[in-house]
Structure 1
Amino acid sequence: MNIVVVDDDPLVCKSLKVLLSREKDMEVIGTANNGAEAITACCEKVPHVVLMDIQMPVMDGIQATRQIKENWPNIRVMMLTTFKDEKNIRLAILAGAEGYLIKSTEVSDMAQQLRTLMSGSTVLGADVLKQLIQPTEGENLEQLTPREKDIAELVAQGLSNREIGEHLYIGEGTVRNTLSVILEKLQLRDRTQLAIYYLKKL
């Protein structure tokens, strides 16, 4: 299993490279310190798995994951981060990540989880599952205005911008502009992701 490790801390990259390469069936063939470098590494090396941090300069792990999955759908992405809040977990999964582990995970457990990932399964650490089952109160939908929530709900029901405008008695341009604001607030890419996100919040 060929792996690229992505983390803005060079020491983390070096440590994981040494520790994971001790596994007989694993080899860390490259490291990167931000999302843009991760995409370059995937282009040059085409690994089986990318171990991806989230918060990094230049390009974060969520953006990088989205681009990697668009360009190399067969590359498996495992998020490895200190963030275990529901928002980042859901955004990572929506971006295409097949796994999500916390950095405190023992290397032996991490190696086994990587094998599970390569077998085609989705991997979520115990802390991650707990967070999804018992999400933090006051989640992101609460930051939307009543009108924005109405539009998000209608998007989730599959209505077009024109149909939403007719339903709420507002112009199609207003719907389009408000939708852009909603996507920005929730850090989502498009209306499809918004629909999935909204339905999962119900």
Structure 2
Amino acid sequence: MKILIVDDDPLVCQSLQVLLSREKDMQVIGTAAHGAKAIEFCRQSLPDVILMDIRMPVMDGISATRQIKEQWPQVRIMMLTTFRDEQKIRLAIVAGAEGYLIKSTEVSNMAHQVRALFSGTSVMDADLLKNIMQPEGPCLEQLTPREKDIVELVVQGLSNKEIAEQLYISEGTVRNTLSVVLEKLQLRDRTQLAIHYWRKL
């Protein structure tokens, strides 16, 4: 997968570039010091995944995420920060980010999380998810037992293939069931589903 690192700290960019480049399935194709540079980079060479700092000069990560998702919705974006800021995380999710990691995350775990994000799984800290969205919207109780089983596995970070294997059903059934669940709960994607789940506990 092709990765773009966006951070105003050159040392962070360099460290992540060196460490992630050691992964056989990852290629860091560039770095950018702020959001505007990230957008410019995407126009020239589109990455699969962007590791995006939240707070940066010129253009912050949230504004850049919003513009990138509007133009290239297929790009997966992981927000990076050194601290927990629930308001910023909420704004990042609304802007379209699918993942969120603290910069101090161990590199081996970060690589695993980037792979999960690339495969379509939302990557969020469970404790943060419980606090960043308002507890409103349709109730999970309207779901069937099978739909609830699939939702719980989605929240655990399993892919459609892994869910299918665990429940002994086809990937197509998982995919179709998820579409029905998202429509029932009036949600957009797996990230919002995970947030909705934690808020309803």
* TM-score tier after normalising by the smaller chain length: 0.5 to 0.7
Aligned to 1:76: 76
Deviation at 1:69, TM superposition (A): 0.1
Corresponding residue for residue 133 of structure 1: 130
Q: Which blocks of at least 5 consecutive residues in structure 1 are unaligned?
A: 140-155, 157-195
Q: What is residue 47 of structure 2 aligned with on the other side?
A: 47
Q: Residues 54-93 of structure 1 correspond to what in structure 2 (within 5 A)? A: 54-93=54-93
Partner Cα distance (1:131, 1:123) in 2: 11
Name the aligned partner's letter for residue 130 of structure 2: I
Partner of 2:8: 8
1:74 and 1:131 map into 2 onto residues whose CA distance is: 25
| Secondary structure at the counterpart of residue 105 of structure 1 | coil
- What is the Cα-based RMSD across aligned positions, in Å? 2.4
The number of aligned residues is 140
The match for 1:95 is: 95
TM-score by length of 2: 0.65
SS at structure 2 position matched to 1:5: strand
Q: Secondary structure at the match of 2:100?
A: strand
Give 5+ residue unaligned stretches, structure 2: 138-191
Amino acid at match of 1:133: K
* RCO comparison, higher one (Cα < 8 Å, 6+): 2
Task: Please show how residues 112-191 of structure 1 align to structure 2 within 5 Å.
Answer: 112-125=112-125, 129-134=126-131
Query: Are 1:99 and 1:123, in contact at CA under 8 Å, matched by a contact in 2?
Result: yes
Q: Deviations over 1:56-93 (max 9, x none)?
A: 00000000000000000001000011131211111100
Q: What TM-score do the two structures reach when normalised by structure 1?
A: 0.64
**Whole-angstrom distance in 1 between the partners of 2:7 and 2:97:** 16
Tell me, yes or no, if the aligned pair for 2:86 and 2:131 is still in contact at 8 Å.
no
Is the CA contact (8 Å cut-off) linking 1:7 and 1:56 kept in structure 2? yes
Residue 22 of structure 2 aligns to a residue in which SS? Answer: coil
Q: Which residue matches 1:182?
A: none
Pair 1:110 & 2:107 matched: no
Deviations 1:157-194 (A, max 9, x none): xxxxxxxxxxxxxxxxxxxxxxxxxxxxxxxxxxxxxx
Larger Rg: 1
Question: Helix, strand or coil: the match of 1:123?
Answer: coil
Q: Is the contact between residue 85 and residue 131 of structure 1 (CA under 8 Å) also seen in structure 2?
A: no
SS at the partner of 1:108? helix
